[in-house]
Amino acid sequence: MAENIAGYTVHDSLETVLSTVKGTNGDFDIYHRQNDCPIAHEQCNEDHDVGFEGWNLDKYKNVHIAEQAYKMRPDYDWYFFIDADTYVSFPTLMEWLPAVDPNKLHYIGHEKHSGSFPFAHGGSGYLMSKATMRRMFFGKTRVGNKYDEATQDGCCGDIMWSEIVLNETGLTPENMWPVINEFKPRTFNYYEDQWCQPLITLHHVNGEEINDLYAFERGQNFAKRITIKDMYYRFVATHLVESRSDWDNGGEDVYYLDREARTYEESELEKAKTDELSEKELVAHKNSSSCKDVCYSQEDCFQWRYRDGICGLGYNKMRLGNAVKKDDDEAKRSFSGWHMNRIKKWIDEQGNCSETYQWRVTDEQRNRDAGAQK
């Protein structure tokens, strides 16, 4: 919605959506309600599921934001699209950008798939070059309106955007993951392949986490890129302990459970180990102590989680995770733990990340790949 926040003009990205779509589609109920609200929007939204409504509305914004941005600033080298809960490390971004040419066609992000269709994940952020935006919008009008009706039946704005980019330019995303990332310090899986990776974006960060990340970079005078290793030392290391109650660390590479005890989700059964179980594995599902014991008996196990009769183990990686509500039923409470000695030994073996980093997306790399295909 159009408004002014602390002197900054916020434009209404949905203003240019077809009136026939806005006027007849329930996806826009929250949009109309807030536009008509003469008081605080929070009060007008009482008794409405704004999370559900907002998600349905969100998918219309991507192409219209891009089209309006190009109309207002047609000569920029790069256009970086992020969500409101995305943090951008500008030192890392500015270190990498000289390796890619804005005058060449680029659509760069964290590539994910909807079925077999590739798209750049919106929350991680995606970067469009001047050349790509020019091909999308130069000399054209109402590009977004071509897709408004189709968007009604779509799932998500980032998937729809990838379809539009493909239709208008023939491009599919160039994958810059994990540098462009969908996680944040407490939800990262810290493991060898990612330990020294730089970070441009983190996603699902709240206001407190944004402040903490900004303070961390400011403490470095914004003088160097940040890495996943930095995130561990600054935000995770001091919070890893032997065990935490009412906590979910995401230990889920393999499950131990009793198939006869209750009904399980298909995803839980798929991860359940059933063959050649040791004595400790046979009882791992009984309680948190048994779950911890089976983790400690396996040399690659870094973390464990016990919840509602399921023991989950995580191998050669660690994740802080998040607090969960204490269940009134003691048997359904969630317990998590980490093998601290193994984690410390593993970290000591990783070194100081002093090797020169090879960016995943560069024009030099793209030229090499093109030459190899000839």
pLDDT tens for the chain, 374 residues long, are 788 889 999 999 999 999 999 988 889 988 888 888 887 787 888 888 888 888 899 999 999 999 999 999 999 999 999 999 999 999 999 999 999 999 999 999 999 999 999 999 999 999 999 999 999 999 999 999 999 999 999 889 999 999 999 999 999 999 999 999 999 999 999 998 899 999 999 999 999 999 999 999 999 999 999 999 999 999 999 999 999 999 999 878 999 998 888 888 888 888 998 899 999 999 999 999 999 999 999 999 999 999 999 999 999 999 999 999 999 888 889 999 999 999 999 999 988 887 788 999 999 866 656 555 55
Report yes or no on 219 lying in a domain.
yes
Please give the pLDDT value at position 352. Answer: 84
Query: Residues 175, 149: one domain?
Result: yes
Query: Residues 253, 305: one domain?
Result: yes
3-class DSSP state for residue 11? coil
Query: Residues 228, 251: one domain?
Result: no
Bridge pairing between strands 226-227 and 198-199:
antiparallel
Query: Residues 219, 262: one domain?
Result: no
Burial of 10 by CB count in 10 Å (0-12 exposed, 13-18 middle, 19+ buried)? exposed
Please give the pLDDT value at position 356. Answer: 82
Please give the pLDDT value at position 37. Answer: 82
Report yes or no on 316 lying in a domain.
yes
| Number of DSSP helices (H) and strands (E) in the chain, helices first | 16, 19
- What's the rounded Cα separation, in Å, for the pair 319 and 231? 12
Please give the pLDDT value at position 362. Answer: 94
DSSP alpha helices (H): ranges in the chain?
19-24, 29-36, 41-44, 50-58, 61-72, 90-96, 130-137, 148-151, 157-169, 207-219, 228-231, 266-271, 279-282, 288-296, 340-349, 363-373
Report yes or no on 90 lying in a domain.
yes
Query: Residues 296, 224: one domain?
Result: no
Residue found under tokens 């929007």? 41
Please give the pLDDT value at position 367. Answer: 64
Specify the number of domains making up the chain: 2
- What's the rounded Cα separation, in Å, for the pair 85 and 109? 16
Report yes or no on 213 lying in a domain.
yes
Report yes or no on 142 lying in a domain.
yes
Please give the pLDDT value at position 48. Answer: 87
Q: Which tokens sit at 238?
A: 């001091």
Bridge pairing between strands 174-175 and 107-109:
parallel
Query: Residues 278, 183: one domain?
Result: no
Query: Residues 256, 344: one domain?
Result: yes
- What's the rounded Cα separation, in Å, for the pair 198 and 86? 16
Query: Residues 232, 108: one domain?
Result: yes
Instruction: Name the domain boundary from 181, 214, 238.
Output: 238
Cβ–Cβ < 8 Å for 146, 281: no
β-pair partners for 109:
126, 175
Query: Residues 125, 232: one domain?
Result: yes
3-class DSSP state for residue 53? helix
Cβ–Cβ < 8 Å for 109, 129: no
CA triple 245-250-254, angle to 5 deg: 115
Cβ–Cβ < 8 Å for 198, 179: yes
Query: Residues 70, 194: one domain?
Result: yes
Quote the domain boundaries for residue 165: 61-238
Report yes or no on 302 lying in a domain.
yes
User: Within 10 A of 74 (CB to CB), how many other CB atoms are there?
Assistant: 12
